[in-house]
Structure 1
């Protein structure tokens, strides 16, 4: 191959590589902007002032990269093109070397999620490209343009317009090609599985000992070394990276519990993803609200996933009148799932059926399910959901006696300092009284607001407010029982409330749900009326366990149910 042919081959090879790299990133400019933000972070280049401009810079860089690839192939202003290519590759070579040497960014994002490269692989690739571009520069006279000057200008202009149009399209919708682990058709639970026999992480354990007054290091694969000396410490070093499943670090948390398994086994689930509510596109939430209200009416379960705190969640729900609950998921995971804030997923038992930008909310396909509740009143539901927050505003703080932990809990709940100090019981009782008045007015207008009217779990709000006002329980017991008979609320919840009410009046309970501790009797089940038929009443009310099973779970497997009489009880 003569020099001219070699130059022609290298020119086309480098040009195509830039076009492919640019197109993959232009297909997902939001993802590339996240990568730039990593580089701009304080632990890498410490250029945080550039982070707000990351998306704009990402779009400019990838369009320039792609256009330069086309310009190199067709020979458009070849000297200017080569200078720009040289400057660009020098910039990227510096970034990849910095990432590799200091181990700052584990994936440069050169080819997006289509072809993840390690930092050293990225650096090697850039060095090769740098050599090839310098070689082209030296032999620039052998680069012969294609087409006429006017034709080349038209091609470059058309490429630029096409890039702008494509970039705008994917920003307003989602990437045309999804290279990530959460693409449509993926089962999230299966994506988290580790195959049998998959390689695991291998570590070197560097044990430090002082032997004869000298510090020495002994390296093993984990075993404690047999050394006669004084142990100082041990450091671990990753030698070989094990298998990493496509989907990892996926959790759905709330109040310290992980609900991932539950929701990944839920059919007909709509998930709203908003990784950061402070950066969310507020004009997208009316479309989300319309979709989710329709989904709830048609029988779908709807949840939100965010990395934002409770205060941001409550603010959003209040301002946008959102009718579903949010759970916590890592921000990086949410950014990976969908490149929209908010974004929408339709899942069925953990399999992603549809994934849409909020602009395309109307494209989510919703069927009328057997669990459909077409008569749901979302205005009423929103009123009740707003009462829930006030109903439980201070109760978690009241239960926490440690001042530091109370402050941390208040911060987590988004409660300012003036609201978590002082007489919290008095503050909560004032809220309980106000909430009860609101519930009374709603019951007078609608009757008991059950699940056919407001769905679940909002159907329990009125019951919980009444329960927190013990003096009003007797007045509403008949209302609650009738609602339970109609299936609007669980009969078990009404039974528990009735038992507690009877116990507080020193009367026999009906279903055996309440236990007490006294000096004479210890821990025991409060006296029950007609104990010989207790299990029949429990079963009729919907309790799954007999009184004997309940006692064993509550007091220990060897505990026995003892039917006491009121006359035998002496309270503390």
Structure 2
């Protein structure tokens, strides 16, 4: 019974680790941003080297969590992985207890942007996983393994190389799966309008209008206001909307301080946005491509904007370095990083709908800019190539084959023992 419980615990812990590690590895930059939120008390995001440190920690966290789960499921390096999993869960349980008490961030980031848990849910998850990992450690030597000592290096190498390559590609390009509100194919015009209408309904429903008549006061809802014999006194907001966080925080302003969201989203046809939280930290490896994009877009009549949270001095420096003459819009750095993980990155809108997003590593070449821009009116929204997942799929296929082989051997042994027993009884 104890051994069975350990096997079940091994599978549960392994699957959670693999799932959590994979979902964070989908977006290593997003995981780095979450880590920076945890480390803010000791490491300011503006300090030198902070971005490099948090990105390195992101790769280590995503990779180690995925590999711990993978090795537990395979049954290789059992004692070592079981010890690490207990240590990992002790640290994570302490961290989630801290977030539950101090509430320093909005969500834990345990499963990236795919699944957002409350602090209590995250803590309870770890409270369950910690004793399960201890069960695994107690019976680590007795756990079944899918591979022999001679075989185990093949799936182990596939898992290690596969997750490293997957994270590197997601960092160099854009996340393989975009769980954020600004994914390719999203109609921003409709989505933002729908959210604003929903908020207005909440506000109306939460507002009570106080009227008086004959010395008596009474509260009314917006849909049932009294006749003219009543005198309006005041409006009261009964719901606490201080914690309300809109899903879409897209409110750029132009150089005059005027809202520019309608200019971008209500525009018919193609609109190109070059985004970077700061022009000071934006890569200068694609300056020629950016210049060609702007010039060709102007020839085709496509509006082209820079969107940044940079100061006026940084914008002036960027214009001096690049010769940029396109208009600049101001937007907070947080929504810019949410929209695109690259510095700089390109977002293409068509009639208010996101039809393409590109990291600077994927900008069309100078020679290919014209062809790319002319294809935009007919372009269908599409995601990134699946090539970055091939090694992980190969690892998963090996697990399936090994699992089937394990049960085939077990079934063969059961049948063999049954036949042997029957033969013994007939003698």
Common fold, TM-score beyond 0.5?
A: yes
Once the two structures are superposed, residues 532-571 of structure 1 have per-residue CA deviations (whole angstroms, 9 ceiling, x without a partner) of xxxxxxxxxxxxxxxxxxxxxxxxxxxxxxxxxxxxxxxx
Residues 9, 135 of structure 2: 8 Å contact kept: no
Once the two structures are superposed, residues 105-137 of structure 1 have per-residue CA deviations (whole angstroms, 9 ceiling, x without a partner) of 111111111111122221221221112111222
Partner in structure 2 of residue 348 of structure 1: 350
State the alpha-carbon separation in 2 of the partners of residues 342 and 356 from structure 1: 9
Match of 1:366 among 366, 373, 380: 373
Partner in structure 1 of residue 270 of structure 2: 268
Secondary structure in 1 aligned to 2:374?
coil
Once the two structures are superposed, residues 69-100 of structure 1 have per-residue CA deviations (whole angstroms, 9 ceiling, x without a partner) of 11111121111101111222222222222222
Aligned-residue Cα RMSD (Å) equals 3.2
State the alpha-carbon separation in 2 of the partners of residues 286 and 121 from structure 1: 49
- 1:322 and 2:324 aligned: yes
Secondary structure in 1 aligned to 2:347?
strand
Once the two structures are superposed, residues 284-343 of structure 1 have per-residue CA deviations (whole angstroms, 9 ceiling, x without a partner) of 333222222222222211001101111101101111112312111010000000010100
Partner in structure 2 of residue 255 of structure 1: 256
State the alpha-carbon separation in 2 of the partners of residues 80 and 200 from structure 1: 55
Q: Which runs of 5+ in 2 are unaligned?
A: 207-237, 378-427
Change (3 A) 1:179 1:314: same
Residues 272, 343 of structure 1: 8 Å contact kept: yes
Residues 18, 69 of structure 2: 8 Å contact kept: yes
Match of 1:308 among 305, 310, 320: 310
Secondary structure in 1 aligned to 2:304?
strand
Once the two structures are superposed, residues 42-93 of structure 1 have per-residue CA deviations (whole angstroms, 9 ceiling, x without a partner) of 3xx5576772311111011111111111111112111110111122222222
- 1:283 and 2:275 aligned: no
Secondary structure in 2 aligned to 1:353?
strand
Residues 107, 116 of structure 1: 8 Å contact kept: yes
State the alpha-carbon separation in 1 of the partners of residues 239 and 104 from structure 2: 16
Residues 76, 153 of structure 1: 8 Å contact kept: no
- 1:179 and 2:182 aligned: no
Alignment of 1:300-449 (within 5 A): 300-362=302-364, 365-367=372-374
Change (3 A) 1:147 1:263: same
Partner in structure 1 of residue 143 of structure 2: 143
Secondary structure in 2 aligned to 1:68?
helix
Residues 32, 109 of structure 1: 8 Å contact kept: yes
- 1:246 and 2:220 aligned: no
Query: 1:6, CA displacement in angstroms?
Result: 2.8
Change (3 A) 1:12 1:317: same
Residues 252, 329 of structure 2: 8 Å contact kept: no
- 1:97 and 2:97 aligned: yes
State the alpha-carbon separation in 2 of the partners of residues 368 and 170 from structure 1: 25
Query: 1:190, CA displacement in angstroms?
Result: 2.3
Query: 1:369, CA displacement in angstroms?
Result: 10
- 1:132 and 2:132 aligned: yes
Residues 306, 334 of structure 1: 8 Å contact kept: yes
Partner in structure 2 of residue 155 of structure 1: 155
Alignment of 1:456-495 (within 5 A): none
Change (3 A) 1:112 1:250: farther
Query: 1:9, CA displacement in angstroms?
Result: 2.1
Once the two structures are superposed, residues 208-235 of structure 1 have per-residue CA deviations (whole angstroms, 9 ceiling, x without a partner) of xxxxxxxxxxxxxxxxxxxxxxxxxxxx
Query: 1:254, CA displacement in angstroms?
Result: 2.9
Partner in structure 1 of residue 420 of structure 2: none
State the alpha-carbon separation in 1 of the partners of residues 101 and 239 from structure 2: 16
Change (3 A) 1:100 1:253: farther
State the alpha-carbon separation in 2 of the partners of residues 241 and 89 from structure 1: 30
Residues 16, 69 of structure 2: 8 Å contact kept: yes
Change (3 A) 1:254 1:150: farther
State the alpha-carbon separation in 1 of the partners of residues 43 and 358 from structure 2: 34
Residues 92, 126 of structure 2: 8 Å contact kept: yes
Query: 1:3, CA displacement in angstroms?
Result: 3.3
Q: Which runs of 5+ in 1 are unaligned?
A: 204-235, 371-572
User: How many equivalent residue pairs?
Assistant: 341
Once the two structures are superposed, residues 244-278 of structure 1 have per-residue CA deviations (whole angstroms, 9 ceiling, x without a partner) of 55313533343321111111111310000101222
Change (3 A) 1:91 1:249: farther
The structure showing larger relative contact order (alpha-carbon pairs under 8 Å, at least 6 residues apart) is: 2
Change (3 A) 1:30 1:106: same
Partner in structure 1 of residue 301 of structure 2: 299
State the alpha-carbon separation in 1 of the partners of residues 134 and 171 from structure 2: 35
Once the two structures are superposed, residues 172-211 of structure 1 have per-residue CA deviations (whole angstroms, 9 ceiling, x without a partner) of 21111111100011122322233558656999xxxxxxxx
Residues 15, 70 of structure 1: 8 Å contact kept: yes
Change (3 A) 1:201 1:91: farther
Partner in structure 2 of residue 10 of structure 1: 9
* TM, length-normalised to structure 1: 0.55
* TM, length-normalised to structure 2: 0.73
State the alpha-carbon separation in 2 of the partners of residues 160 and 141 from structure 1: 23
Partner in structure 1 of residue 19 of structure 2: 20
Change (3 A) 1:135 1:253: farther
Change (3 A) 1:83 1:352: same
Partner in structure 2 of residue 65 of structure 1: 65
Residues 273, 334 of structure 1: 8 Å contact kept: yes
